[in-house]
Structure 1
Amino acid sequence: MAVKIRLSRGGSKKRPHYSIVAADARMPRDGRFLEKLGTYNPLLPKGDERRVIMDVDRIKVWIEHGAVPTERIQRFLESAGAAEKKERNNPNKGTPGKAAQERAAAKAEKAAAAEETTSE
């Protein structure tokens, strides 16, 4: 059985509250889980210690038994000092989208045309 450590959503509409759970990878996001390992409340400010509450010892036990944490849980563990920071590389993050590139090209053409008319 493939076990993942992931978030399970709770709370009402536009008021999310997540549980950190160990669950079978085949179960639905908010479905059956094996063990609740903590909570995450994204509505609290980033500096608040109640924003992420984890049982780090139990999470380490699950990881030793083969559970795979999701990207978000991995980041929580890194910020808690329970896991080593991984180097992430997303070279496309800073590049503008297709429409923005087209707008920039059109603006550059317009500026070049305006410069030609003023220099003559």
Structure 2
Amino acid sequence: MATKIRLQRHGKKGKPFYHVVVADSRAPRDGKFIERLGSYNPNTNPATIVLNVDKAVDWLNKGAQPTDTARTILSTEGVLYKKHLQGGVKKGAFDEAKAEELFATWLEGKANKTEAAKTGLAQSKEEAKKAALAAEAIKKAEKAAAIAAKNTPPAEEAPAEEETPEADAEAPASEETEG
């Protein structure tokens, strides 16, 4: 029997939630399955993946073929890397303890990257919120100034100073010299 590691869709319309399962390749997408390996929730940021790594590696060793999306999820969680390390142990490249040490180091690095991504998202969200509040405060100040200007009665303008007769006398004289 050909088995596949694939996603089984659950959740409501527009809010998908998936179970990662091992199923016969002939079974329908949401139909009968052999074993549930975990879950995948793309609605969160970053996506939440809960997976039993040992069961997934066992099924890969038995010959189960992951679909493209399931392969990406397995790769993200380190299942394919752990299978690769087990192959190295079988070939004698290194022992089981070294393989576990390498996998633990990889998991620690992945956890640091995920935490950095979450922190970055939180910071960018907070900066956007601060920028929106600052823009709102500026708009509010502009609106208050406009309302104050509208409600203030216009000040009477002072009469302009009349030109002195000397300035009037000079102006025609300069015109006569030009002409």
Per the normalisation by structure 2, the TM-score is 0.43
- Aligned-partner Cα distance in 2 for 1:33–1:82: 20
Length, aligned pairs only: 81
Higher Cα Rg: structure 1 or 2? Answer: 2
2:101 corresponds to: none
Unaligned runs of 5+ in 2: 82-179
Please state how far the C-alpha of 1:12 moved relative to its aligned partner: 1.1
Q: For residues 29-40 of structure 1, what are the structure 2 equivalents within 5 Å?
A: 29-40=29-40
Please state how far the C-alpha of 1:20 moved relative to its aligned partner: 0.2
What is the identity, as a one-letter code, of the residue corresponding to 1:74?
Answer: R
Q: For residues 61-100 of structure 1, what are the structure 2 equivalents within 5 Å?
A: 61-84=58-81
- Aligned-partner Cα distance in 2 for 1:82–1:21: 14
Which has more helix, going by share of residues? Answer: 2
Please state whether the residue corresponding to 2:36 is helix, strand or coil.
strand
Please state how far the C-alpha of 1:32 moved relative to its aligned partner: 0.3
Identity %: 43
Please state whether the residue corresponding to 1:45 is helix, strand or coil.
coil
Which has more strand, going by share of residues? Answer: 1
* Superposed structure 1 runs of 4+ greater than 2 Å apart: none
Please state how far the C-alpha of 1:81 moved relative to its aligned partner: 2.3
CA deviation profile, 1:9-67 (whole Å, cap 9, x unmatched): 00111111100000000000000000000000010101x6xx11111100111111110
Q: RMSD across aligned C-alpha pairs, in angstroms? A: 1.2
